[in-house]
Amino acid sequence: VAERLRLNVANSVYEGEKDKHRITISLGLCPYRQGMTAEKWISSADAALYASKHNGRNRVTVHEG
């Protein structure tokens, strides 16, 4: 689902006031594991997001927590 979302955004053209633009998104995901605290779950997803940005942006990264 995340990859389809990323591709749909990247393949769309957005109308600005003067020009058309393309944008990209980076996503970080972490599957919930039984017993994970909310803080650990969010922290792992955040780490995955920053890994996406660090590794070139416009990508989905999954952190296994």
Tokens for 22? 């393309």
User: Global pTM?
Assistant: 0.83
What CA–CA distance (Å, rounded) separates 65 from 32?
Answer: 8
Q: Per-residue pLDDT tens for 8-32?
A: 999 999 999 999 999 999 999 999 9
Locate all alpha helices (DSSP H) within 1-65, ordered by sequence.
Answer: 2-10, 38-54
Percent of the chain with pLDDT over 90: 95
Give the number of other CB atoms < 10 A from CB of residue 9: 15
Q: What is the pLDDT of residue 65?
A: 74
